[in-house]
């Protein structure tokens, strides 16, 4: 299979990346629907392979306290400097939403351009301490981010994917949201922490979800795997999601590949279940199939961090069997190199 190398592929500014979703879906709602525990959640996970910096940046309204915004930031630092983390709750002015006390996402052009900024103090934790226990109070470090996001693929909508012949389950079976879409992008900008500053240049995965997400959202949860990877040299991409209940029944599944700017829904054949808590060096298999084609790839993790799958999603690992693992991994598709965002949980792990 031929590949393109050299400079990253320039996005086609005339292409429609909305996948049929209206521009309003990129905005946050102005008032809370009359649904118990209804929330709105947005996540960006950019990764810079040169500096080995991965970020998990989340904004969401608080269940049953919709007027408050929760911002969460988790950042893996290079050179053994550990992981930065913060979380806060803020009554954000409507003109600044989606935003919290320190973190803000600005939609500059629906499905095409965003700006991500952060300015605040984070807790620094050694990566191994986060892997083996809950995060404890300690050294605080100022973190400043200013990233320009350029979307590179069409949106992948979970409802549409599950309803396709290649999908399984549906959003109506989920307790964490009823609407959900994802997209891949390029990210460039500046990252400062302490006395260090680097020019960030990487790729990432983002999502936007709406629907009930209360304390009961973990009930019946068996595990999940999410992955997304943009190959910037060619513009190709792949992604997948699989969620299952405690009895092993798949409640939501779908996959996609992007070639020549077109997104194709594909069947998920193989996903890397969470068997242990490994930051780097773990080999992850991915398998996708569509028409008469089959794509089998492996990715090797480069860095990672962990939270606990429980109410409030506390940082660190309270129990290996409840771990929520986040990794960034290198992947080669016929000589085309990209970096996969992977998040996994599995109640059998441990």
The pLDDT tens digits for 131-170 are 999 999 999 999 999 999 999 999 999 999 999 999 999 9
| Tens-digit pLDDT profile for residues 78-127 | 999 999 999 999 999 999 999 999 999 999 999 999 999 999 999 999 99
The pTM assigned to this predicted structure is 0.95
Encode 88-127: b = buried (16+ Cβ within 10 Å), e = exposed. eebebeeeebbbbbbbbbebeebbbebebebebebbbbeb
Q: Residue 184 is encoded by which pair of tokens?
A: 């891949």
| Residue 191 main-chain phi, psi, to 5 deg | -125, 130
How many other C-beta atoms lie within 10 A of the C-beta of residue 185?
26
Confidence band, pLDDT 50/70/90 cuts, at residue 15: confident
Q: β-strand 53-62 against 323-333: which pairing, if any?
A: unpaired
CB 115 within 8 A of CB 142: no
DSSP summary character for residue 99: B
User: Is pLDDT of 175 > 50?
Assistant: yes
Which neighbouring-strand residues pair with 189? 147, 200
pLDDT digits (tens, 9 = 90+) for 202-212: 999 999 999 99
Res 348: pLDDT: 63
- Alpha-carbon distance of 164 to 155, in angstroms, equals 15
What are the extents of the domains in the chain? 36-346
- 4-8, 29-33, 232-236, 277-281: least confidently modelled range: 4-8
Residue 13 DSSP code: T
Residue with the bigger pLDDT between 350 and 122: it is 122
Q: For residue 343, what pLDDT is reported?
A: 98
Confidence grade of residue 309 (pLDDT, cut at 50, 70, 90): confident
Residue 70 has pLDDT above 60, yes or no: yes
Of all residues in the chain, the percent with pLDDT exceeding 70 is 95
H or E element that contains 193: strand 179-193
d(C-alpha 201, C-alpha 140), whole Å = 25
Would you say 202 and 76 are in contact if contact means Cβ atoms under 8 Å apart? Answer: no
The residues that bridge with 237 in the sheet, in sequence order, are 230, 258
Range of lowest pLDDT (47-51, 173-177, 226-230, 327-331): 173-177
Query: Is 230:185 a contact under the CB 8 Å cutoff?
Result: yes
CA dihedral 134, 43, 309, 31 (to 10 degrees): 110
Which of 16, 78, 295 lies closest to 202, judged by CA?
A: 78
Residue 153 CA to its chain's centroid (Å): 15
In the predicted model, is pLDDT for residue 40 greater than 60?
Answer: yes
Rg (Cα) of the chain, in Å, rounded?
19
pLDDT tier at 57 (50, 70, 90 boundaries)? very high
Least Cα distance to 269 among 255, 248, 283 occurs for: 255
The candidate with the shortest Cα–Cα distance to 189, out of 51, 348, 344, is 51
Q: Within 13 Å of residue 306, how many CA atoms lie on the same side as its CB?
A: 27
């Amino acid at each position: 299979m031929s590949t393109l190398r050299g400079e990253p592929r320039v996005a086609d500014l005339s292409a429609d990346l909305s996948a049929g979703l209206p521009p309003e879906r990129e905005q946050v709602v102005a008032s809370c629907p009359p649904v118990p525990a209804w929330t709105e959640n947005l996540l960006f996970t950019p990764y810079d392979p040169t500096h080995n910096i991965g970020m998990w940046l989340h904004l969401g309204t608080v269940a049953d306290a919709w007027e408050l915004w929760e911002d969460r930031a988790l950042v893996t630092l290079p050179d053994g400097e550990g992981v930065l983390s913060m979380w806060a709750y803020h009554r954000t002015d409507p003109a600044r939403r989606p935003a919290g006390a320190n973190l803000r996402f600005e939609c500059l052009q629906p499905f095409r351009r965003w700006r991500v900024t952060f300015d605040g103090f984070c807790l620094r934790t050694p990566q191994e301490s986060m892997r083996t226990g809950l995060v404890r109070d300690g050294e605080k470090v100022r973190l400043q981010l200013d990233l320009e996001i350029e979307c590179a693929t069409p949106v992948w909508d979970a409802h549409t994917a599950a309803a396709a012949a290649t999908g399984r389950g549906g959003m109506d079976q989920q307790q964490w949201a009823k609407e959900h879409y994802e997209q891949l992008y390029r990210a460039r900008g500046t990252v400062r922490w302490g006395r260090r500053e680097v020019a960030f240049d990487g790729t990432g995965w983002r999502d936007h979800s709406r629907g009930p997400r209360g304390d009961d959202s973990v009930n019946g949860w068996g595990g999940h795997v999410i992955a997304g990877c943009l190959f910037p040299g060619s513009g190709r991409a792949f992604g997948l999601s699989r969620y299952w209940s405690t009895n092993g029944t798949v409640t939501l599944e779908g996959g996609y590949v992007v070639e020549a700017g077109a997104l194709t829904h594909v069947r998920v054949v193989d996903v890397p279940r969470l068997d242990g808590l490994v930051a780097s060096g773990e080999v992850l298999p991915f398998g996708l199939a569509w028409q008469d084609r089959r794509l089998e790839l492996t990715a090797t993790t480069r860095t990672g961090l962990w939270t606990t799958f429980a109410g409030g999603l506390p940082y660190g690992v309270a129990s290996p069997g409840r771990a929520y693992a986040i990794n960034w991994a290198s992947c080669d598709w016929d000589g085309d190199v990209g970096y996969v965002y992977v998040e996994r949980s599995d109640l059998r792990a441990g």
